[in-house]
Homo-oligomer: A and B are copies of this chain.
Amino acid sequence: MAYIDRIHACNGWNPKEFLPFMINSQPRGWVRQALALRLAEWHGVFKLDAQTLHLSPSLDGLEQRSLAVAGVLRELVENHELPPFHGERYPVGTSRERPELLLDRAMVNHFGVHAHGQHINGLVRDGERLSLWIGRRARDKRNFPGMLDHLAAGGLPHGITPADNLLKECWEEAAIPRELACRARSVGALTYCKETKYGLKPDTIFCYDLELPVEFRPRCNDGEVESFELMPIEDVETLVRDTEEFKPNCSLVIIDLLIRHGRLGPETDDYLGLVQGLHPNLP
């Protein structure tokens, strides 16, 4: 196995399976055919036209649109056609600050809209030795139970800035105090797009490096992580390259880290393929 396999594992979808979802005639997501047909039964909210699902133009403004869509989705949830609401709302549109629609987090992939997350690499330097704090996901998590994960990571919902959400995730997932989490440095962003059982996931991850003192010990505050381990970077490399133990999108963030820290470079096979594979344009 190879690093590029980790990138392939996070990418791939069949456009024939999906219909575009538009707001004001602008493409905003992708919906499976069956769901699009079902949604189009609510004439006042959705309209299916020329193989495209439109949000009804009669709905105007963020709150009116969001309430109308949530009303339809609640009926489908109650009917067990969609999973339960998550309770967090995600922004839909080209601007996170000025969204056109708010969608429950559990519906984001069903609508194939762009979502954003944050992953924090927890680094420890001890002389020349570089290590990474790695979490093991709780066995009872719905997604990727028991897999290896970052020190802290999470989705970026509506109504909170990236900087504040980072502090929140660091505290909830790893008990990193604010004054330490503040030192996290934004280091880039990566993208991927994958068809899942829920729908389409065109995702952007904002990546951060947080250099932690040798004596710091993370501790899980919200039950999402079973345990943490400080791993030498060489062991992380082996696990990412040769196994599928990491939650798939964590592998991408770690490959990006290996590139930025000079552990993968121009001498690496298909180096440019790795660099570009982390930044595909999203549909």
A residues at B contact (CB < 8 Å)? 116, 118, 156, 161-163, 185-191, 204, 206, 259-262, 264-267, 271-272, 275-276, 278-279, 281
Contact = CB atoms under 8 A, between A and B. Distances in A.
- Main secondary structure, interface of A, reads mixed
Given A275-B279, A276-B279, A188 B266 contact: no
30 contacts: A116-B266, A156-B266, A162-B265, A162-B266, A162-B267, A163-B267, A185-B261, A185-B262, A186-B259, A186-B262, A186-B264, A186-B265, A186-B266, A187-B259, A187-B260, A187-B261, A188-B259, A188-B260, A189-B259, A189-B271, A190-B275, A191-B272, A191-B276, A204-B272, A206-B265, A206-B266, A260-B260, A275-B279, A276-B279, A276-B281
What is the count of identical protomers in the complex? 2
A266 to B, nearest CB: 4
Nearest to A278: B279
Given A187-B261, A188-B275, A191-B276, 18 more contacts: A116-B266, A156-B266, A161-B267, A162-B265, A185-B262, A186-B259, A186-B262, A186-B264, A186-B266, A188-B259, A189-B259, A189-B266, A189-B275, A191-B272, A204-B272, A206-B265, A206-B266, A276-B281
